[in-house]
Amino acid sequence: MEVTIHTLTEVSREAEIEVDSEELQPYFEKAYREYRPKIEIRGFRKGKAPIELVRKLYGEMIEHEYLEKLAGELYRNVVKEKELKPIGDPTLTDMNFKRGERFWVKIQYDIRPTIQLIQYKGLSVETVVHTTTDDELEDELLRIRKINSVREEVEKVTDDEHVVSAELQEFDDTGFPIIGKKTDNARFYLADPQLEQPFKDALQATQKGNEHEIKFEHQHDDHAHKVNMKAKVTKVEKVILPELSDEFVKKVTKDKITSLDEFRKGIREDLESYWKEKNRRGLINSIVSEIIRLHEFQVPESLIRSVLENLLEEIKGQHPKKQLPADFDVEKFFQENRPYAIFQAKWALLREEIVKAENLNVDEAALVTLAEREAAKIGIDKERLITYYKSSDQVKDRLVGDKLIDLLIRSTTVKEVDDKTLPNQLVKG
């Protein structure tokens, strides 16, 4: 077997492998045996024909079908013999087979980039933080009241706290109704911030039996289309919010909390806890972004592809039967998310280097502490949980990651910027 390793880029190599017919024979003999059980030859029970006959009648077909698998086996042998250190999945880029003479193949693979750690401690970063406001507390209380509201049918809309039911019919540009574009019982909550303004404007003071013509241009991500419809109001309902009181609190908490003051305090603590965690994630992102900025190196394409494919699997999981819509553009999705994938792949590589440099690891005491903390939460016996944690690389990796983040935060000088001092568009971004 002749092997030549070509350097393509800093992180990409190509193995060129050539094998003569004599060396190929043991692989093909193995292939004949694997295919034999599937083959029916007259005069023999299925899968029982002699290997010599299988080779004579089907040898050429079997050999050609086996080539890609053979390429993988040869590549793995080369990796072992040459002590290569590939990462990610290899790619078959070219091959040529001359029966009875030789098999030639090219396989591209990635390697880890050489990373020289420059600086990851003693950084200075700026991060945006948010503190809970009284208005947010009141908004959350209002949301809870709306969840527990009741509706009462009335004749006319008098404010935003109304739900309007209507029959909708879409029309084309010439004014003819579009077949199949009729909705018998559409509902519009006028206080919903997601309700498009043309609907809200049309239904602001409507009453049962009214008809409204609604025209506007609906803007999607990358295109717009005209909306032209008529709405016939079939019902108007007033949303009646429950009064904030001790009795209301007892009802919604099933007597776990008995006073409004205690309820308010708990809601504020929940909001503060939410923003504390979100602020922490923002800080971590600022630190990681700064570390990545300081380290310039090429990222292996296989790692980028792996991140993108995992993202795509997440998107699939959000759809019925994990099937993407027919019009879903996978290539466009990959292009749009490529910068994020590069960021994540870079951090994964840098994270490993920093963990190694700091000699971070997880001892048994840390696993026991974690099990003691989580056993009651998830309802599993502590000793069973400890046994599982000791065998779980994923759990150990998570704990190492936590230690790394704590180390980075402790060593970083942080300038906090209150988001209330920033323009609204920057806060939203």
d(CA 233, CA 42): 76
Phi, psi torsion values for 329, nearest 5 degrees? -95, 100
d(CA 308, CA 315): 11
- Is this model's pTM higher than 0.85 or not? no
DSSP state of 112: P
Residues 94, 106: contact at Cβ < 8 Å? yes
Question: Using CB atoms within 10 A of its CB, is residue 236 exposed (0-12), middle (13-18) or buried (19+)?
Answer: buried
Cα–Cα nearest to 300, from 429, 113, 121 = 113
At residue 153, the pLDDT reads 95
Question: Using CB atoms within 10 A of its CB, is residue 56 exposed (0-12), middle (13-18) or buried (19+)?
Answer: exposed
DSSP state of 9: E
Residues 120, 409: contact at Cβ < 8 Å? no
Distances (CA, A) of 88 to 106, 108, 345: 17, 11, 12
**Residue for token digits 């999607």?**
220
Residues 182, 169: contact at Cβ < 8 Å? yes
DSSP sequence for 270-315: HHHHHHHHHHHHHHHHHHHHHHHHH---PPPHHHHHHHHHHHHHHH
Retrieve residue 263's tokens: 């309820």
Q: Counting every residue, how long is the chain?
A: 429
- For the chain, domain boundaries: 2-111, 150-240, 251-297+360-428
Retrieve residue 365's tokens: 């005491």
Residues 217, 224: contact at Cβ < 8 Å? yes
Can you say whether residue 420 is alpha, beta or left, with left for phi > 0 and alpha for psi between -120 and 50 degrees?
Answer: alpha
d(CA 291, CA 286): 9
d(CA 291, CA 278): 20
Retrieve residue 266's tokens: 């708990």
**Residue for token digits 């005491």?**
365
Residues 14, 8: contact at Cβ < 8 Å? yes
Retrieve residue 405's tokens: 């983040």
d(CA 162, CA 235): 10
The secondary structure element, H or E, covering residue 250 is helix 246-252
At residue 424, the pLDDT reads 62
At residue 41, the pLDDT reads 86
At residue 223, the pLDDT reads 67
Can you say whether residue 83 is alpha, beta or left, with left for phi > 0 and alpha for psi between -120 and 50 degrees?
Answer: left
d(CA 10, CA 28): 36
d(CA 156, CA 164): 9
Please list, residue by residue across 369-386, b when 16 or more beta carbons sit within 10 angstroms of its beta carbon and e when fewer do. ebbeeebeeeeeeeeebb
At residue 243, the pLDDT reads 95
Tell me the H-state helices in 8-155. 21-35, 51-81, 134-147
At residue 417, the pLDDT reads 94
Measured at the CA of 280, the angle between CA 274 and CA 284, to 5 degrees, comes to: 145
Quick one: fold of 150-240? Chitinase A; domain 3 (3.10.50)
Strands 124-129 and 413-418: parallel
Quick one: fold of 2-111? Alpha-Beta Plaits (3.30.70)
Paired residues of 16 in beta bridges = 4, 106
At residue 222, the pLDDT reads 63
d(CA 87, CA 345): 12
pLDDT tens-digit profile, the chain (429 residues):
999 999 999 999 999 999 999 999 999 999 988 888 888 888 888 888 888 888 888 888 999 999 999 999 999 999 999 999 999 889 999 999 999 899 999 999 999 999 999 999 999 999 999 999 999 999 999 999 999 999 999 999 999 999 999 999 998 888 888 888 899 999 999 999 999 899 999 999 999 999 999 888 876 666 677 888 999 999 999 999 999 999 999 999 999 999 999 999 999 999 999 999 999 999 999 999 999 999 999 999 999 999 999 999 999 999 888 899 888 999 999 999 999 999 999 999 999 999 999 999 999 999 999 998 898 888 888 899 999 999 999 999 999 999 999 999 999 999 999 988 887 644 444
Q: Is 263 helix (H, G, I), strand (E, B) or coil?
A: helix
Distances (CA, A) of 141 to 92, 147, 245, 263, 337: 59, 10, 11, 9, 37
